[in-house]
Amino acid sequence: RAACFASWLIQQYGREALSAGAGVLDVAGGQGDLSWSLTMDFGIPCTLVDPGLRRGGQLKSWQRRALRKSGNEGFAHLPVEFSEKYFGPAAGALSAEAAELPAPPPSPHAELLQRASIVVGLHPDEATEVIVDLALACGRRFAVVPCCVFASKFPNRHLSSGAPV
């Protein structure tokens, strides 16, 4: 799935556009399969934004071997949640401007989002909404392939046939 989505991104936006600025922000990308494909198969810089550190932050053994052979650095991993707290514009910046006060400091990774060519999510679970919201707020392109339906959060959701989702 990651390779298919990576190919689609290349087809839609082009390698040059995706490589611009800080490259692609891969949100809630788990083990980094999409970032791996974009970085290793297409040479596009990526940052995986996911608070989960699988295998202590280490790549899979076959990935480490591939990096050694290729001489590439691979993708960056930022182990934080993709949220307004970490990536949004400075809280209260607009009200401070109106009151002619000094603007509050930006969130720690706001510049990374501003420099990203696109924000993507492949099955990003609960990060889907924040990907769309922050990308729109910052004028960034985004592409999301949603996944599950959160059956436990929406127990009354049913198919048109009446069967539970």
What does the pLDDT look like over 55-67, one tens digit per residue?
666 778 888 898 8
pLDDT of residue 104: 65
- Mean pLDDT, the chain, whole residue set: 86
pLDDT of residue 120: 98
Q: What is the pTM of this model?
A: 0.80
Mean pLDDT for the stretch of residues 42-53: 91
Q: Extract the tokens encoding 155.
A: 């127990």
Tens of pLDDT along 134-163? Answer: 999 999 999 999 876 666 666 777 778 888
CA–CA gap between residue 159 and residue 165 (Å, rounded):
6
Identify the weakest region by mean pLDDT among 42-51, 88-97, 125-134: 88-97
pLDDT of residue 114: 94
Whether 77 contacts 50, CB under 8 Å:
yes
Mean pLDDT for the stretch of residues 117-143: 94
Mean pLDDT for the stretch of residues 8-28: 97
Q: How far is CA 144 from the centre of its chain?
A: 9
